[in-house]
Chains A and B, each alone.
Chain A
C-alpha cells in the first residue's frame, strides 16, 4: 500500500505529472470572478465563500481523470488487480494520493485567495477547516467517477456530468460553514454534517469504485 502511495506521489510530482495545475486553475478562477462581478469589496466578500468552494471543487475535478486513466492505458491496472492488494484498498490509496497532490495544496492555498476576494477575517479558520474536511470526499467521489468512466473515449466530460451532482451535499455544507463563519453565526453544525458525509464517503465509496473498476477491466 505504501509502495503504491509513494509511486503515485512520485509520478504526480515528476515532470509531466500535472502537479500544480489544479492550483493554477484555482488561482485563475478566483482571479476571473472579480472581473465578472465587479471589483466592489462588499459584494466580493459576500460571495467569497461560495467562489472559493466552487473554485476548489472545479480544480479538484480537473485532475480526476488521471487517477485511473494512465494506469489503465499502460496495463498497470490489470497488474494491480491481480496483486495481493485488494482493489478497494488500491482505490482508496489512489484517492489519497490525489488528495495529497491536489486537495491538500488547495486547502493550504485557499486563504491566500480568500484575501484576494475580501473574505471576512473570522471566516479563515472555518475556510481551512471546511476545505480540510470536505476535499477528501471530493477526491474519493472523483475516484468513483474516474473508475466508472476509465475505459471510455471522451470519458472526461461524462465524468464531470456523473461526479458533479455527487458533490452537491459536500459543497452545500462546506460553503455554508464558511458563510456562517463569515457572518459570525455558528458554523459547527455544518462542519459536523460535512465531516459525516466525508466519513461515509471514505467508508463506502471505495467498494463502489472497485466494483466499477472490475467491470471496466473485464
Chain B
C-alpha cells in the first residue's frame, strides 16, 4: 500500500468521501470556537480592540502562503509522476488560496487603518501579498483559458514552478525597496518577541480551523473537478463513436 494509490480517482473519491464530513465538522468547530474565544480575549494595552482582527488575519495569511506551496508540490507531482488527481487538486486549491490572500489583504487594510493611519501602505509584507494575489489570478486564468485539460495541467504546473521562484524573489526585492511598518512575525520563537498566551492559544485554534477549512474546501472542489472530468470524458467518448 503506497501513498500513490490515492492518486487513483476511484480510490481518492472513496477516501475523500469518508474524510470530508470530519474535515467539515473540525473546521466548523475550530474556527467558530477560536473566533469566539478570540473575541472574548482582553484588550491589548497598545492596540486596543483592533488586535482581535489577528484571529482572521494571521490564519488567512498563513494559509495563503501554504496553499501556494501545496500547489507547487502537487504541480511537481503531476509533472514528475503524472497523477491526474494531483493536477486537479492544484487547480481546486487555487481559488481557495486566492480568497485567503484577499482576506489577509482586506483584514490587513482594516487593521492598518487605526494602527498606521492609512488603509493601504506599500509595506513589504502587504505588497508581497498583493503580488502573490496576482500570481493566483494568473494561475487561475490560465486554467480557464486552455481548453485541453492535459495541456492546461502541464502549462499551469510550469507556471506554478516559475511563479514560485519569482514570488520568492519579489518577496525579498520588496524588502530592499521599502523597509515597511509591519510588525515582525506573530509567532516568533525567540523569547521576548512572543505574543502573550491569551492571544496565542485562540490563534492556534483559528489556525487549525482555517487549515481544516482549507482541507474541506480542497476535498469538495477536487471531488467536483473529478466529477467534471468524468463527465467530459464520457462526452468525449460519446463523440468519438
Closest A residue to B79 using CB positions? A211
A164 engages B142 (CB within 8 Å): no
Name the segment of A20-28, A54-62, A77-85, A155-163 touching the other chain.
A155-163
Complex interface: chain B residues within 8 A of A193 (CB): 173, 176
Per a CB cutoff under 8 Å, which of B151, B161, B177 touches A218?
B151
Q: B7 near A: Cβ within 8 Å?
A: no
What 0/1 pattern do residues 137 to 169 of B give for CB contact below 8 A with A?
Answer: 110011001100011001100110111001101
Q: Interface on B for A, CB 8 Å cutoff?
A: 131, 134-135, 137-138, 141-142, 145-146, 150-151, 154-155, 158-159, 161-163, 166-167, 169-170, 173-174, 176-177
Chain B residue contacts of A212, Cβ below 8 A: 154-155, 158
Task: Indicate which residue in A172, A208, A215, A216 contacts B177 across the interface (CB closer than 8 Å).
Answer: A172
CB pairs A–B below 8 angstroms (28 shown): A148-B155, A149-B142, A151-B146, A151-B151, A152-B146, A158-B141, A158-B145, A161-B134, A161-B141, A162-B138, A162-B159, A164-B134, A168-B173, A168-B174, A169-B169, A169-B170, A172-B174, A172-B177, A173-B173, A176-B177, A193-B173, A193-B176, A208-B158, A208-B162, A211-B158, A215-B154, A215-B155, A218-B151
**Contact partners of B137 in chain A: CB under 8 A:** 161
Complex: A149 Cα to B163 Cα, angstroms: 15
For the residues of A in contact with B, the DSSP-based class is: helix
Do A205 and B176 have beta carbons less than 8 Å apart? no
What is the 8 Å Cβ interface bit string for chain A, positions 180-196, against chain B (1 contact, 0 not)? 00000000001001000
Closest to B177 in A: A172
Contact, CB under 8 Å: B131 / A168: yes
CA–CA, A19 and B6, complex, Å: 53
- Please determine whether A165 and B155 come into contact, CB atoms closer than 8 angstroms: no
Residues of chain B within 8 A (CB-CB) of A218 are 150-151
- How far is the CB of B232 from the nearest CB of chain A, in Å? 18
CB distance from B91 to the nearest CB of A (A): 16
Give Cα A149 to B176, complex, Å: 32
Which residue of A149, A165, A208, A216 is within 8 Å of B161 (Cβ)? Answer: A208
Interfacial residues, chain A to chain B (CB-CB below 8 A): 144, 148-149, 151-152, 154-155, 158, 161-162, 164-166, 168-169, 172-173, 176, 190, 193, 197, 205, 208, 211-212, 215-216, 218
Q: How distant is A187 from chain B, measured CB to nearest CB, in Å?
A: 12
Inter-chain contact B145/A149, CB cutoff 8 Å: yes
- B163 touching A148 by the CB < 8 A rule? no
Given A144-B162, A166-B166, A212-B155, also A161-B138 (CB < 8 A): yes
The 4 A-B residue pairs with the shortest CB-CB distance, nearest first, are A169-B173, A165-B134, A215-B154, A172-B173
Given the complex of chains A and B, what is the CA–CA distance between A154 and B161 in angstroms?
24
Q: How far is A1 from B141 in the complex, measured between Cα atoms in Å?
A: 34
Q: A148-B155, A155-B145, A215-B154 are in contact. Are A169 and B166 (CB under 8 A)?
A: yes
Q: Which of A165, A169, A197, A205 contacts B163 (CB 8 A)?
A: A165
Inter-subunit contact A173/B142 (CB<8 Å): no
Identify B170's interface contact among A168, A211, A216, CB under 8 A: A168
- Whether A165 pairs with B166 at a CB distance below 8 angstroms is yes
Bound Cα distance from A212 to B138, whole angstroms = 15
**Given A148-B155, A197-B169, residue A165 in contact with residue B176 (CB < 8 A):** no
Distance in Å: Cβ of A216 to nearest Cβ of chain B: 7
A29 to B163 CA separation, bound complex (whole angstroms): 28
CB distance from B215 to the nearest CB of A (A): 27
A148 touches B173 (CB 8 A): no
* A173 contacts across to B, CB distance below 8 A: 173, 176
Give the distance in Å from the alpha carbon of A98 to the alpha carbon of B170 in the complex. 25
* Known contacts A165-B131, A169-B169, A208-B158; is-contact A148 B176 (Cβ 8 Å): no
A216 near B145 with CB under 8 A, answer no
Q: Provide the residues of chain B in CB contact with A155, threshold 8 Å.
A: 145
CA distance A158 to B177 in the complex (A): 27
Once the chains are docked, how many angstroms separate the CA of A9 from the CA of B155? Answer: 28
Q: Is the CB of B162 within 8 A of A166?
A: yes
Question: Once the chains are docked, how many angstroms separate the CA of A208 from the CA of B165?
Answer: 12
- B166 x A172 contact (CB < 8 A): no
Q: How far is the CB of B82 from chain A (nearest CB, A)?
A: 13
